[in-house]
Amino acid sequence: MQKMKKLYETSSVYLIKTLVVAGLALATSAEAQIYDNLGATPSGADPVGSFGPLYDSFTSPGTSTPITSLQIALEGDNSAGTLTVGLYGDSSTAPGGLITTLGTINDTTIGGGVNDYTVSLLSNPVLAASTRYWIGLSDTDDVVWSWSSDTSGTGVAGEFFANQNGVFPNADGPYQMDLNGPSSSVPDAGSTASILGLGFAGLLALRRKLA
């Protein structure tokens, strides 16, 4: 009888651990790319301060979704200044009004060589479905935003970029960024609870069988 109890306790611990891991995995929001040319080979870079604001357009997915992360390819010289990153609306295929400031980056943290910098989002604005928006950068110093003529990345072809010279199709070389939203394949809390409930039901059945 003690062996049977020992077996039940061991099985219970293992099952509970498995359920916890599974529940955490389901609760973790994966990310889905909306726009990404960050891995493309840079072709050049434009100064944000003297040639900006600089903009990249993107189109949201077919369902409304929040922005969950944003990375941009920058180069600087660690000088004083502040880079401001904003979400803008679209005005006849040109940057429209500012919707919200997504975050700022201290220029003293931006060094030589093109590197990817993560924007610490101040909020997670929800994008309307199938709508064009713009990511815009402005700066009090001449940090540069890298651009690439490679348009093979997710959501890149068919979009636009803008600077002091005007608005141009991405075929001419858009600025580099990686913009993400939550994955639509992640189950909601109800699905997670259902799976956990089934697991605990199985645990009770195991206990009755060993009793």
Q: What is the pLDDT of residues 26-67, one digit of tens each?
A: 444 468 999 999 999 999 999 999 999 999 999 999 999 999
Question: Phi and psi (nearest 5°) for 37?
Answer: -130, 25
What pLDDT is stored for residue 134 in this prediction? 99
CA gap 47, 170 in Å, rounded: 18
Among 149, 168, 145, 120, smallest CA distance to 49 is for 145
What pLDDT is stored for residue 40 in this prediction? 97
What pLDDT is stored for residue 141 in this prediction? 87
37, amino acid identity: N
Can you give the pTM of this predicted structure? 0.75
CA gap 183, 174 in Å, rounded: 25
